């Protein structure tokens, strides 16, 4: 094994000393590529202390200073983006072009954070009463913890810490133990860009590290992205410890195709959104709802495209889809296809037998397409998080929307149609936080916020955009009056506004 990955605390690489390690793999070969230090509660405490120590200076620093560090960081990330993408691809498995897209979408939030003077401008009302002014300010919350999933090892951390530190907070990031290197590189580049030591720290580890962050009295806020059961528990535990929390969970995103849709565009959209990144995206389309008589035609077009998806290692430019994250996850996903057949679905394309020559030990799985999937079937009910697309049929628009809204999740939902009226109705009626009209993966741009409804998000704030600024700051309202002889006198009544 080439290396041991440690932590990044107070502006320096720190080897772990807990005695516990995990192994990081290359999913394309199955080879162990690194040993990962797993933080103990004491090591988490060290990272939180570093963040706490850095807080007074950083939160008191000028907006100009923070913006100039972020601009330098942005330039550095641009110049190193291919290196970052290669690191993502090597540990996650996604193809390089997809990893480059991930970095670009993460950079959007750095762009947003560079504008922090504008974002924190506050509000002032003069003369709200005689000689009284009122100002609304936003101030940092303190030490923020970020806990991130494996599927976007750079983008999801970038959703969080650039905006958090721009708002004057300090940060402790606990990345996924499956692909931690991108996060460590992101932190080291932040130090190189001039971010003071301790403002951004990374602790690697697993549940023990997360639980310590959730319980730690010096952590004021928690941003979490991961699966629904963990998100729910993270929110419960962090709230019980008195913290503000935003916990984004899993998803099962539906794409409704109305009878008037352009079926080629819809089939392209479904294939790209279902199988991109091997379906390991929280905004992946996992269910197509074919409305009316278009089902057979649509399934035929999706199947034709699905059979042509080239599966191979992420660093091969010919590959369109890489391996899954682990062998266990690949086998779990394959199990859904087998069970769907037994539970009454039609398996139109079965990717479970795929082998990639020369990569027999990689965690590859071909793409699968299931038609007429019963809604009681496991493949319909669970988040599979793999390259499996379910198609269900609906007789009407109303039946399709009722189906989408019956889902416990509400992350993304898309409609494909040429009918503006139907699209407008869908936007208003669908229970999801992010809606696409002829856009299958409606991930909002950096200056709009990202977040789902129902079991896809626990907490009140979405991430990045305006909601991100609100989450990473506390509001304060200052009412000012400068003494004037005209205001003299005793009045025990509640202050009025005349």
Output phi, psi for 43, to 5 deg: -70, -35
Cα dihedral 236/241/242/247 (nearest 10): -40
Q: Is residue 211 helix, strand or coil?
A: helix
The one catalytic residue in 114, 167, 282, 390 is 282
Least distance to ligand NAD, CB of residue 121, Å: 28
Burial string for 39-59 (b: 16+ CB within 10 Å, else e) reads bbeebbbbbbbbbbebbeebb
Sign of torsion over alpha carbons 178, 314, 267, 297: negative
Which of 7, 46, 174, 244 binds ligand NAD (CB under 6 A)? It is 174
* Span interacting with ligand NAD, options 9-17, 137-145, 205-213, 478-486, rule CB under 6 A: 205-213
Asked whether 281 and 387 are in contact (CB, 8 A), the reply is: no
Number of residues binding to ligand NAD, judged by CB under 6 A: 27
Closest distance of CB 463 from ligand NAD, Å: 7
Q: What is the dihedral of CA 142, 167, 250, 294, to 10 degrees?
A: 170
| Cα atoms in the 13 Å half-sphere on the side-chain side of 393 | 13
d(CA 88, CA 77): 14
Question: Residue 282 interacts with ligand NAD (CB under 6 A)?
Answer: yes
> Cβ of residue 240: shortest distance to ligand NAD, in angstroms?
14
Of residues 58, 150, 426, 471, which one binds ligand NAD by CB under 6 A?
Answer: 150
Question: Residue 440 in contact with residue 269, Cβ under 8 Å?
Answer: yes
The reply to whether 226 sits near ligand NAD by the rule CB under 6 A is yes
Q: Name the residue nearer to ligand NAD (CB basis): 73 or 152.
A: 152
For residues 150 and 397, which CB has a smaller minimum distance to ligand NAD in the complex? 150
Strand-pairing partners, residue 8, are 13, 202
For residues 44 and 210, which CB has a smaller minimum distance to ligand NAD in the complex? 210
Query: Would you call 390 a catalytic residue per the annotation?
Result: no
* Token digits of residue 334: 């394959």
Q: Which stretch binds ligand NAD (CB under 6 A): 36-44, 100-108, 143-151, 488-496?
A: 143-151
Cβ 155 to ligand NAD shortest distance, Å: 9
Nearer to ligand NAD, 149 or 362 (CB): 149
The least distance separating ligand NAD from the CB of residue 349, rounded to whole angstroms, comes to 23
Q: Does 110 bind ligand NAD (CB under 6 A)?
A: no
For residue 413, the surrounding DSSP H or E stretch is strand 412-416
- Draw the binding track, 241-280, toward ligand NAD (x: CB under 6 A; -: no contact): -------xxxx-----------------------------
CB of 55 to ligand NAD, least distance (A): 24
Q: 380-409: which residues touch ligand NAD (CB under 6 A)?
A: 383, 385
What H or E segment, with its residue span, contains residue 336? helix 327-342
Whole-Å CA distances, 445 to 2, 49, 205, 407, 466: 37, 34, 30, 25, 12
d(CA 170, CA 144): 6
Q: Kindly state the smallest distance separating residue 251's Cβ from ligand NAD, in Å.
A: 5
Under the criterion CB under 6 A, does residue 207 sit at the interface with ligand NAD?
A: yes
CB-nearer residue toward ligand NAD: 329 or 393: 329
Q: Where along the sequence are the contacts to ligand NAD (CB under 6 A)? A: 147-152, 156, 174, 176-177, 206-207, 210, 225-227, 230, 248-251, 282, 383, 385, 411, 452, 456
């Amino acid at each position: 094994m080439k290396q041991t990955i440690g932590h990044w605390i107070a502006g320096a690489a720190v080897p772990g000393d807990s005695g516990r390690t995990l192994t990081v793999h290359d999913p394309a070969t199955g080879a162990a590529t690194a040993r990962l230090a797993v933080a103990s509660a004491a090591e988490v405490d060290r990272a939180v202390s570093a963040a706490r120590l850095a807080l007074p200076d950083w939160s008191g620093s000028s907006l100009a200073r923070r913006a100039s560090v972020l601009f330098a960081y942005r330039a550095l990330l641009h110049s190193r983006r291919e290196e970052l993408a290669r690191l993502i691809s090597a540990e996650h498995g996604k193809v390089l072009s997809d990893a480059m897209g991930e970095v670009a979408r993460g950079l959007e939030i750095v762009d947003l954070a560079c504008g922090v003077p504008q974002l924190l401008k506050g509000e002032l009302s003069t003369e709200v009463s005689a000689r009284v002014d009122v100002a609304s300010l936003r101030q940092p919350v303190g030490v923020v913890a970020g806990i991130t999933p494996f599927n976007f090892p750079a983008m999801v951390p970038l959703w969080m810490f650039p905006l958090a530190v721009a708002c004057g907070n300090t940060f402790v990031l606990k990345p996924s133990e499956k692909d931690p290197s991108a996060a460590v590189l992101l932190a080291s580049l932040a130090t190189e860009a001039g971010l003071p030591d301790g403002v951004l720290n990374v602790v690697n580890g697993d549940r023990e590290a997360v639980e310590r962050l959730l319980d730690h009295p010096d952590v004021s806020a928690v941003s979490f992205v991961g699966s629904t059961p963990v998100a729910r528990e993270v929110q419960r535990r962090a709230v019980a410890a008195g913290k503000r929390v935003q916990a984004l969970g899993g998803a099962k995103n539906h794409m409704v195709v109305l009878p008037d849709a352009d079926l080629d565009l819809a089939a392209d959209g479904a294939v790209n959104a279902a199988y991109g990144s091997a379906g390991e995206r929280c905004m992946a389309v996992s269910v197509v709802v074919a409305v009316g008589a278009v089902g057979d035609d649509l399934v035929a077009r999706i199947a034709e495209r699905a059979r042509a998806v080239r599966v191979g290692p992420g660093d091969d430019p010919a590959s369109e889809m890489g391996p899954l994250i682990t062998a266990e996850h690949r086998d779990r996903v394959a199990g859904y296809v087998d069970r769907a057949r037994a539970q009454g679905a039609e398996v139109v394309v079965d990717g479970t037998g795929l082998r990639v020559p020369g990569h027999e030990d990689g965690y590859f799985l071909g793409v699968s397409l299931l038609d007429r999937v019963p809604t009681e079937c496991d493949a319909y009910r669970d988040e599979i998080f793999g390259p499996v697309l379910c198609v269900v049929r609906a007789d009407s628009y109303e039946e399709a929307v009722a189906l989408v809204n019956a889902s416990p999740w509400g992350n993304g939902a898309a409609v494909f149609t040429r009918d503006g009226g139907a699209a407008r109705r869908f936007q208003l009626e669908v229970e999801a936080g992010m809606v696409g009209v002829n856009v299958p993966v409606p991930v909002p741009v950096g200056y709009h916020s990202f977040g789902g409804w129902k079991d896809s998000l626990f907490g009140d704030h979405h991430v990045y955009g305006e909601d991100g600024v609100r989450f990473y700051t506390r509001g304060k309202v200052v009412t000012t009056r400068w003494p004037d002889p005209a205001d003299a006198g005793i009045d025990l009544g509640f202050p009025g506004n005349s």
